[in-house]
Amino acid sequence: MKFSELGLDRWLADKAGELCGPDLSIARITAVDRGRYLIRDEGGEVPAELTGKFIHLAESSSELPCVGDWVCVHYRDAAAQASIHHLLPRRSFLRRKAAGRDVELQMIAANIDVAFIVQSCHFDFNLRRLERYLVMARDGHIEPVVLLTKTDLVSPEALEQLIGQIRLMGVEAKIVCVSNATGAGVDQVRALMASGKTYCLLGSSGVGKTTLINRLLGEDALETGAVSHTGEGRHTTTRRQLIVLEQGGLLIDMPGMRELGMLGAGEGIEETFAHISALARGCRYPDCRHDSEPGCAVRAAIERHELSEDQLQNYLKLRDESEFHDLSYMDRRKKDKAFGRFVHTYKKQKDGPGRK
Protein backbone atom coordinates (compact mmCIF):
# COMPACT_ATOMS: atom_id res chain seq x y z
CA MET A 1 0.00 0.00 0.00
CA LYS A 2 1.45 3.37 -1.02
CA PHE A 3 1.90 6.21 1.45
CA SER A 4 -0.41 8.39 -0.66
CA GLU A 5 -3.16 5.78 -0.15
CA LEU A 6 -2.51 6.04 3.60
CA GLY A 7 -3.19 9.78 3.45
CA LEU A 8 0.30 11.21 3.08
CA ASP A 9 0.15 14.49 1.14
CA ARG A 10 2.88 16.87 0.01
CA TRP A 11 2.65 19.06 3.13
CA LEU A 12 3.08 16.08 5.46
CA ALA A 13 5.83 14.63 3.29
CA ASP A 14 7.78 17.89 3.55
CA LYS A 15 7.38 17.88 7.34
CA ALA A 16 8.57 14.28 7.44
CA GLY A 17 11.66 15.22 5.45
CA GLU A 18 12.48 17.89 8.03
CA LEU A 19 11.86 15.80 11.16
CA CYS A 20 12.70 12.22 10.24
CA GLY A 21 15.90 12.83 8.30
CA PRO A 22 17.83 9.92 6.77
CA ASP A 23 17.92 7.74 9.90
CA LEU A 24 14.22 7.43 10.66
CA SER A 25 11.21 6.21 8.68
CA ILE A 26 7.70 7.63 8.45
CA ALA A 27 4.61 5.69 9.50
CA ARG A 28 1.00 6.35 10.51
CA ILE A 29 -0.63 5.48 13.83
CA THR A 30 -3.49 3.06 13.13
CA ALA A 31 -4.46 2.05 16.67
CA VAL A 32 -3.92 3.19 20.25
CA ASP A 33 -4.86 1.03 23.20
CA ARG A 34 -3.76 1.90 26.76
CA GLY A 35 -0.46 3.39 25.69
CA ARG A 36 0.29 0.72 23.10
CA TYR A 37 0.49 1.64 19.42
CA LEU A 38 0.12 0.04 16.02
CA ILE A 39 1.79 1.81 13.10
CA ARG A 40 1.45 1.25 9.38
CA ASP A 41 3.73 1.98 6.45
CA GLU A 42 3.87 0.70 2.89
CA GLY A 43 4.88 -2.74 4.18
CA GLY A 44 2.11 -3.30 6.72
CA GLU A 45 1.39 -2.95 10.44
CA VAL A 46 3.78 -3.47 13.37
CA PRO A 47 3.53 -2.71 17.11
CA ALA A 48 5.39 0.34 18.38
CA GLU A 49 6.25 2.16 21.61
CA LEU A 50 7.35 5.67 22.53
CA THR A 51 10.97 6.33 23.37
CA GLY A 52 11.78 7.51 26.87
CA LYS A 53 12.96 10.85 25.47
CA PHE A 54 9.65 11.36 23.66
CA ILE A 55 7.69 10.75 26.87
CA HIS A 56 10.01 13.00 28.89
CA LEU A 57 9.72 15.95 26.49
CA ALA A 58 5.92 15.77 26.15
CA GLU A 59 4.43 18.48 28.36
CA SER A 60 0.92 17.01 28.26
CA SER A 61 -0.96 13.96 27.00
CA SER A 62 -2.19 16.00 24.00
CA GLU A 63 1.39 15.97 22.69
CA LEU A 64 1.43 12.16 22.56
CA PRO A 65 0.46 10.37 19.32
CA CYS A 66 -3.17 9.51 18.64
CA VAL A 67 -4.89 7.54 15.87
CA GLY A 68 -4.27 9.15 12.48
CA ASP A 69 -1.01 10.83 13.48
CA TRP A 70 2.12 10.56 11.36
CA VAL A 71 5.33 9.75 13.22
CA CYS A 72 9.05 9.19 12.69
CA VAL A 73 10.08 5.69 13.76
CA HIS A 74 13.09 3.43 14.06
CA TYR A 75 12.52 -0.24 13.25
CA ARG A 76 14.21 -3.02 15.23
CA ASP A 77 14.06 -6.81 15.59
CA ALA A 78 14.07 -7.28 11.83
CA ALA A 79 11.33 -4.64 11.44
CA ALA A 80 9.00 -6.58 13.76
CA GLN A 81 8.95 -3.75 16.33
CA ALA A 82 9.35 0.03 16.17
CA SER A 83 10.26 2.95 18.42
CA ILE A 84 8.45 6.28 17.94
CA HIS A 85 10.86 9.25 18.05
CA HIS A 86 8.96 12.25 16.63
CA LEU A 87 5.38 13.38 16.02
CA LEU A 88 4.66 15.26 12.79
CA PRO A 89 2.49 18.41 12.92
CA ARG A 90 -1.23 17.75 12.59
CA ARG A 91 -3.19 19.09 9.60
CA SER A 92 -6.44 18.63 11.51
CA PHE A 93 -7.55 17.08 14.77
CA LEU A 94 -10.40 16.03 17.03
CA ARG A 95 -10.02 17.00 20.66
CA ARG A 96 -12.14 17.67 23.74
CA LYS A 97 -11.80 18.40 27.41
CA ALA A 98 -10.73 15.14 29.04
CA ALA A 99 -13.53 13.39 30.88
CA GLY A 100 -13.67 14.06 34.61
CA ARG A 101 -12.70 17.02 36.75
CA ASP A 102 -9.19 17.60 35.40
CA VAL A 103 -9.00 20.47 32.90
CA GLU A 104 -6.83 18.81 30.28
CA LEU A 105 -7.00 18.45 26.51
CA GLN A 106 -7.58 14.96 25.14
CA MET A 107 -6.57 14.31 21.56
CA ILE A 108 -8.98 11.84 19.97
CA ALA A 109 -7.72 11.51 16.39
CA ALA A 110 -5.71 13.49 13.86
CA ASN A 111 -5.28 14.26 10.17
CA ILE A 112 -8.95 13.73 9.31
CA ASP A 113 -10.57 15.17 6.18
CA VAL A 114 -14.26 14.57 6.93
CA ALA A 115 -16.14 13.78 10.16
CA PHE A 116 -19.39 11.84 9.75
CA ILE A 117 -21.53 12.96 12.69
CA VAL A 118 -23.95 10.10 13.31
CA GLN A 119 -27.33 10.60 14.96
CA SER A 120 -30.10 8.04 15.19
CA CYS A 121 -33.55 9.18 14.08
CA HIS A 122 -35.06 7.06 16.81
CA PHE A 123 -33.85 7.61 20.39
CA ASP A 124 -30.53 9.41 20.01
CA PHE A 125 -31.61 12.49 18.04
CA ASN A 126 -30.36 15.48 20.03
CA LEU A 127 -29.76 18.92 18.50
CA ARG A 128 -27.64 20.15 21.42
CA ARG A 129 -25.29 17.17 21.13
CA LEU A 130 -25.14 17.65 17.36
CA GLU A 131 -24.01 21.24 17.90
CA ARG A 132 -21.21 20.04 20.17
CA TYR A 133 -20.01 17.57 17.56
CA LEU A 134 -20.11 20.30 14.91
CA VAL A 135 -18.02 22.56 17.15
CA MET A 136 -15.52 19.76 17.69
CA ALA A 137 -15.15 19.13 13.95
CA ARG A 138 -14.88 22.78 12.92
CA ASP A 139 -12.51 23.61 15.75
CA GLY A 140 -10.19 20.94 14.37
CA HIS A 141 -10.49 22.16 10.75
CA ILE A 142 -12.48 19.09 9.68
CA GLU A 143 -15.40 19.13 7.25
CA PRO A 144 -18.58 17.84 8.95
CA VAL A 145 -21.22 15.64 7.29
CA VAL A 146 -24.37 14.67 9.23
CA LEU A 147 -25.53 11.05 8.98
CA LEU A 148 -29.08 10.32 10.16
CA THR A 149 -29.30 6.57 10.83
CA LYS A 150 -32.17 4.16 11.58
CA THR A 151 -34.37 6.02 9.12
CA ASP A 152 -36.44 2.85 8.70
CA LEU A 153 -37.79 3.42 12.24
CA VAL A 154 -39.48 6.74 11.42
CA SER A 155 -41.95 7.88 8.78
CA PRO A 156 -40.84 9.97 5.78
CA GLU A 157 -42.73 12.93 7.25
CA ALA A 158 -40.97 12.58 10.62
CA LEU A 159 -37.60 12.34 8.84
CA GLU A 160 -38.25 15.57 6.95
CA GLN A 161 -39.13 17.27 10.23
CA LEU A 162 -35.81 16.16 11.76
CA ILE A 163 -33.90 17.49 8.74
CA GLY A 164 -35.84 20.74 9.00
CA GLN A 165 -34.87 21.11 12.67
CA ILE A 166 -31.20 20.74 11.72
CA ARG A 167 -31.48 23.32 8.95
CA LEU A 168 -33.23 25.77 11.31
CA MET A 169 -30.08 25.62 13.46
CA GLY A 170 -28.20 27.19 10.57
CA VAL A 171 -26.37 23.96 9.72
CA GLU A 172 -25.29 23.98 6.08
CA ALA A 173 -23.38 20.70 6.17
CA LYS A 174 -24.41 17.85 3.90
CA ILE A 175 -27.04 15.54 5.44
CA VAL A 176 -27.22 11.87 4.40
CA CYS A 177 -30.05 9.58 5.52
CA VAL A 178 -29.03 5.97 6.17
CA SER A 179 -30.74 2.74 7.14
CA ASN A 180 -28.39 -0.06 8.17
CA ALA A 181 -31.38 -2.42 8.14
CA THR A 182 -32.26 -1.85 4.48
CA GLY A 183 -28.92 -0.48 3.21
CA ALA A 184 -30.52 2.73 1.99
CA GLY A 185 -28.05 5.60 1.89
CA VAL A 186 -24.94 3.43 2.38
CA ASP A 187 -23.91 3.89 -1.26
CA GLN A 188 -24.24 7.67 -0.79
CA VAL A 189 -21.82 7.50 2.13
CA ARG A 190 -19.46 5.31 0.13
CA ALA A 191 -19.57 7.77 -2.79
CA LEU A 192 -18.40 10.57 -0.48
CA MET A 193 -15.22 8.67 0.43
CA ALA A 194 -12.18 9.17 -1.80
CA SER A 195 -8.96 7.19 -1.94
CA GLY A 196 -6.23 8.57 0.32
CA LYS A 197 -8.68 10.64 2.37
CA THR A 198 -9.36 10.01 6.06
CA TYR A 199 -12.84 9.93 7.60
CA CYS A 200 -14.19 9.29 11.08
CA LEU A 201 -17.52 8.45 12.70
CA LEU A 202 -18.63 10.60 15.63
CA GLY A 203 -21.67 9.64 17.66
CA SER A 204 -23.04 8.05 20.79
CA SER A 205 -22.97 4.32 21.43
CA GLY A 206 -25.78 2.46 19.72
CA VAL A 207 -26.44 4.82 16.81
CA GLY A 208 -25.23 2.25 14.27
CA LYS A 209 -21.60 3.26 13.67
CA THR A 210 -20.18 -0.27 13.78
CA THR A 211 -22.96 -1.70 11.61
CA LEU A 212 -22.34 1.05 9.06
CA ILE A 213 -18.62 0.26 8.99
CA ASN A 214 -19.40 -3.41 8.38
CA ARG A 215 -21.64 -2.43 5.46
CA LEU A 216 -18.89 -0.20 4.04
CA LEU A 217 -16.43 -3.07 4.43
CA GLY A 218 -18.88 -5.53 2.88
CA GLU A 219 -18.42 -7.99 5.75
CA ASP A 220 -19.05 -8.38 9.49
CA ALA A 221 -15.46 -7.52 10.37
CA LEU A 222 -16.39 -5.65 13.56
CA GLU A 223 -18.53 -7.03 16.37
CA THR A 224 -21.80 -5.28 17.15
CA GLY A 225 -23.53 -5.42 20.50
CA ALA A 226 -27.03 -6.54 21.31
CA VAL A 227 -29.82 -4.00 20.96
CA SER A 228 -31.75 -3.11 24.10
CA HIS A 229 -35.53 -2.79 24.46
CA THR A 230 -35.18 0.94 23.68
CA GLY A 231 -33.65 0.20 20.29
CA GLU A 232 -30.20 1.36 21.34
CA GLY A 233 -27.18 -0.84 20.75
CA ARG A 234 -24.71 -1.48 23.53
CA HIS A 235 -21.22 -0.03 23.58
CA THR A 236 -18.95 -2.31 21.51
CA THR A 237 -15.94 -0.36 20.22
CA THR A 238 -13.28 -0.22 22.94
CA ARG A 239 -10.37 1.40 21.11
CA ARG A 240 -9.74 3.87 18.33
CA GLN A 241 -8.47 2.31 15.13
CA LEU A 242 -7.91 3.30 11.51
CA ILE A 243 -9.50 0.95 8.97
CA VAL A 244 -8.53 0.76 5.29
CA LEU A 245 -11.60 0.41 3.06
CA GLU A 246 -11.61 -1.56 -0.17
CA GLN A 247 -12.54 1.51 -2.21
CA GLY A 248 -9.42 3.26 -0.92
CA GLY A 249 -10.69 5.55 1.81
CA LEU A 250 -9.50 5.41 5.42
CA LEU A 251 -12.02 5.32 8.25
CA ILE A 252 -11.36 5.87 11.96
CA ASP A 253 -13.67 3.93 14.27
CA MET A 254 -13.87 5.04 17.88
CA PRO A 255 -15.96 4.46 21.01
CA GLY A 256 -19.03 6.58 21.63
CA MET A 257 -18.29 9.64 23.75
CA ARG A 258 -20.56 10.47 26.68
CA GLU A 259 -18.77 13.72 27.57
CA LEU A 260 -18.08 16.44 25.00
CA GLY A 261 -16.55 19.15 27.16
CA MET A 262 -15.43 22.35 25.44
CA LEU A 263 -11.78 23.41 25.85
CA GLY A 264 -9.90 25.65 23.42
CA ALA A 265 -12.90 25.51 21.10
CA GLY A 266 -13.55 29.21 20.59
CA GLU A 267 -12.87 29.11 16.86
CA GLY A 268 -15.13 26.09 16.35
CA ILE A 269 -17.95 27.70 18.35
CA GLU A 270 -17.83 30.93 16.35
CA GLU A 271 -17.81 29.00 13.05
CA THR A 272 -20.63 26.65 14.09
CA PHE A 273 -22.76 29.60 15.21
CA ALA A 274 -21.62 31.85 12.37
CA HIS A 275 -25.11 33.34 12.01
CA ILE A 276 -25.04 34.52 15.63
CA SER A 277 -21.46 35.78 15.31
CA ALA A 278 -22.48 37.80 12.24
CA LEU A 279 -25.43 39.30 14.10
CA ALA A 280 -23.23 40.13 17.12
CA ARG A 281 -21.03 42.34 14.96
CA GLY A 282 -24.02 44.67 14.65
CA CYS A 283 -24.46 45.09 18.42
CA ARG A 284 -23.93 48.57 19.85
CA TYR A 285 -21.36 47.36 22.38
CA PRO A 286 -18.44 45.08 21.41
CA ASP A 287 -18.68 43.21 24.74
CA CYS A 288 -22.45 42.71 24.47
CA ARG A 289 -23.67 39.61 26.34
CA HIS A 290 -26.92 39.52 24.30
CA ASP A 291 -29.01 39.71 27.45
CA SER A 292 -30.70 43.07 28.01
CA GLU A 293 -28.15 45.53 26.63
CA PRO A 294 -29.56 48.33 24.46
CA GLY A 295 -28.81 48.06 20.75
CA CYS A 296 -28.31 44.27 20.82
CA ALA A 297 -28.63 42.98 17.25
CA VAL A 298 -28.94 39.38 18.45
CA ARG A 299 -31.94 40.11 20.69
CA ALA A 300 -33.50 42.05 17.83
CA ALA A 301 -33.17 38.98 15.58
CA ILE A 302 -34.95 36.87 18.22
CA GLU A 303 -37.78 39.40 18.37
CA ARG A 304 -38.07 39.19 14.57
CA HIS A 305 -38.21 35.34 14.89
CA GLU A 306 -35.04 35.02 12.80
CA LEU A 307 -33.23 33.29 15.66
CA SER A 308 -34.52 31.07 18.47
CA GLU A 309 -33.87 31.67 22.14
CA ASP A 310 -32.69 28.04 22.45
CA GLN A 311 -29.99 28.58 19.82
CA LEU A 312 -28.73 31.70 21.54
CA GLN A 313 -28.67 30.09 24.98
CA ASN A 314 -26.75 27.05 23.70
CA TYR A 315 -24.24 29.32 21.95
CA LEU A 316 -23.72 31.30 25.17
CA LYS A 317 -23.46 28.09 27.22
CA LEU A 318 -20.80 26.58 24.95
CA ARG A 319 -18.87 29.86 24.74
CA ASP A 320 -18.88 30.36 28.53
CA GLU A 321 -17.93 26.72 29.10
CA SER A 322 -14.98 26.95 26.71
CA GLU A 323 -13.78 30.27 28.15
CA PHE A 324 -14.00 28.96 31.73
CA HIS A 325 -12.06 25.80 30.91
CA ASP A 326 -9.53 27.79 28.85
CA LEU A 327 -8.72 29.99 31.87
CA SER A 328 -8.44 26.96 34.16
CA TYR A 329 -6.22 25.18 31.63
CA MET A 330 -3.89 28.16 31.21
CA ASP A 331 -3.65 28.60 34.98
CA ARG A 332 -2.74 24.95 35.40
CA ARG A 333 -0.10 25.11 32.66
CA LYS A 334 1.49 28.18 34.29
CA LYS A 335 1.66 26.37 37.64
CA ASP A 336 3.15 23.26 36.01
CA LYS A 337 5.82 25.32 34.26
CA ALA A 338 6.63 27.24 37.46
CA PHE A 339 7.02 23.94 39.33
CA GLY A 340 9.22 22.59 36.53
CA ARG A 341 11.50 25.63 36.78
CA PHE A 342 11.67 25.19 40.55
CA VAL A 343 12.73 21.54 40.22
CA HIS A 344 15.30 22.44 37.55
CA THR A 345 16.78 25.20 39.74
CA TYR A 346 16.82 22.93 42.78
CA LYS A 347 18.65 20.17 40.92
CA LYS A 348 21.12 22.67 39.50
CA GLN A 349 21.90 24.05 42.96
CA LYS A 350 22.11 20.59 44.46
CA ASP A 351 24.50 19.29 41.78
CA GLY A 352 26.44 22.56 41.39
CA PRO A 353 30.18 23.13 41.94
CA GLY A 354 29.62 24.08 45.56
CA ARG A 355 28.23 20.65 46.47
CA LYS A 356 30.22 18.74 49.10
pLDDT grade for 329, boundaries at 50, 70 and 90: low
Whether residue 259 is contained in a domain is answered as no
Distance CA 251, CA 109 (A): 11
**Is 296 inside a domain boundary?**
yes
83 & 156 share domain: no
Cβ(130)–Cβ(119) below 8 Å: yes
CA 130/CA 341 separation, integer angstroms: 42
User: 59 and 142: one domain?
Assistant: no
Instruction: Give CA–CA dist 323/159, Å, rounded.
Output: 36
Same domain, 218 and 243: yes
Task: Clarify whether residues 78 and 103 are in a common domain.
Answer: no
Q: Is residue 337 part of a domain?
A: no
* C-alpha pair distances (Å), 99 with each of 48, 104, 241, 315: 26, 9, 20, 21
Q: CB neighbours of 63 closer than 8 A, spacing ≥ 6? A: 87
Q: State the DSSP string of 120-164.
A: ETTTT--HHHHHHHHHHHHHTT-EEEEEEE-GGGS-HHHHHHHHH
Same domain for 176 and 273, yes or no, is no
Tell me, yes or no, whether 352 lies in a domain: no
Please tell me whether residues 132 and 235 are part of one structural domain: yes
Higher confidence at residue 70 or residue 131?
Answer: 70
Band the pLDDT of 330: cuts 50, 70, 90.
low
**What residues does 72 pair with on adjacent strands?**
26, 86
Indicate whether 167 and 112 sit together in one domain: yes
Q: Poorest-confidence range of 29-43, 185-199, 254-268?
A: 254-268
- Residue 128: which residues within 8 A CB-CB, separation 6 or more? 314
Position 231 scores a pLDDT of 44
131 shares its domain with 239: yes
Number of residues in the chain: 356
Question: How many domains would you assign to the chain?
Answer: 3
CATH number, domain containing residue 139 = 3.40.50.300
Same domain, 131 and 244: yes
Task: Give the ranges where 38-118 is alpha helix by DSSP (H).
Answer: 52-57
CA distance 117 to 278: 25
Based on the fold, state whether residues 127 and 194 are members of the same structural domain: yes
CATH of the domain at 50: 2.40.50.140
Same domain membership, residue 226 and residue 113:
yes
**What is residue 253's DSSP assignment?**
E
Does residue 149 sit in the same domain as residue 225?
yes
Quickly state the pLDDT bin for 233 (edges 50, 70, 90): very low
Range of the domain at 172: 93-253
Looking at every residue in the chain, the average pLDDT score rounds to 83
Q: Domain holding 292: CATH number?
A: 1.10.40.50
* In a domain? residue 351: no
Other Cβ atoms less than 10 A from the Cβ of 265: the count is 28
